Structure formats: C-alpha cells, structure tokens
Amino acid sequence: MAPKRRRKHHRRLGERPVYAEPDTRRLAGYGRRACAWLIDAAASLSLVVVGMVGAFALLSSADPAAATPAGLRAYLALVVFGVFSAVAFALSSLLMIRRGERNGQTLGKQLLGLRVVRDDRQPFGLLDASFRELILKGPVPVALLNVLVLPVLAVSYLWPLRDRYRRAGHDLAAHTHVIRV
C-alpha cells in the first residue's frame, strides 16, 4: 500500500499570507473612484426604476374585461420588481467576475479606466466580488443597520483621502486596491 501524500500548503499553519505591495504610481485617485461609484449607482438605480415602471404597469392595467385577476397582477408586479432589484444589486458583482482584462471592473470603473485587484493578484471570483460589493460596500449593511452603518460607510468611503495606498475600508477588509489601467 502506497503512503498517502499530504497536500502542500502555501503557508504554514498560523502564518499570515504575504501580500504584494501595490504599485503606488498606478493607484486610483479619490475623484475617479467616486465618479465610478456614481456611474455604478446610476446603472443599478436605473434597473430598479425599470422594475418599478414594469410593476406599476402591471398594477395599473385594471381592465375589467381582463382575464387576469387583480391578485395575480399584484403578484406578477412584485416578481417583476424583485427580479429587477436583485439584478441591480448583483450587477457590480457579476461585472467584476468577467474574465481577462475586465476582471475587477464594474461599469463605472471600466468607463473611467479603473480596476480592482486583489492583493494576492488572483482574479476575482463570485464570492470575492460579492463579499466586496454587496457585503462590505453595498445594500446589505445599509439594509441591516441603516442608522448605524451610514457613519461607518461614510468613514469607509472617505478613508482613501488619508490612506497611503488610497484604500477604502472595504478595500482593506477584502484585501484589494483600485488601480488605473
């Protein structure tokens, strides 16, 4: 019987991972990052508005001769709004997991020539992108603790103004930084 081979670990138990220092010449400035965020927010908000318009159109089609009962129309309106809202919230995460040179770019970052890179230089996967975009930056903390999270988000978004590597709080937590491409 052949001896079992142990898997090699990239680091020893208890050792912290080694992250590469970002190239400070290519770090994105605060203004470009803020503009990219505004573009991403506008894209997501437009999807929510389309969902709302579709939901209102379904609800307002109160034709007495229609074969669709009002309860079913209300249910369909809720489904339409829910689908568009879910896509809007997931949009930035889904865009960030594209392959190749677009990996780490949302719509706003792509338009402004920015890219989020992981400190270990690995491409973004769905879990990494969702953790950064939804859990650390986006709707999840705001929905859960709106009053308590707003000051934390404000500090997180203003952090690049004082950080040597221009990293926001969500970049620090996700081990990422934003660069110009």
Instruction: Report CA Rg, the chain.
Output: 21
Determine the Cα–Cα distance for residues 88 and 110; give it in Å rounded to an integer.
17
pTM score = 0.66
HSE (side-chain half, CA atoms, 13 Å) at 47 = 16
HSE (side-chain half, CA atoms, 13 Å) at 50 = 12
- Amino acid identity of residue 14, one-letter, is G
pLDDT for residue 8 is more than 80: no
Q: Mind listing the pLDDT tens digit for each residue in 130-161? A: 888 887 776 655 555 555 666 777 788 888 88
- Amino acid identity of residue 21, one-letter, is E
CA-based nearest residue to 60, from 80, 33, 89: 80
Determine the Cα–Cα distance for residues 35 and 39; give it in Å rounded to an integer.
6
Q: Mind listing the pLDDT tens digit for each residue in 50-109? A: 988 888 887 776 665 556 666 777 778 888 888 888 888 888 888 889 888 889 899 999
Residue 35: pLDDT band (50, 70, 90) is: very high
Residue extents of the structural domains in the chain: 27-180
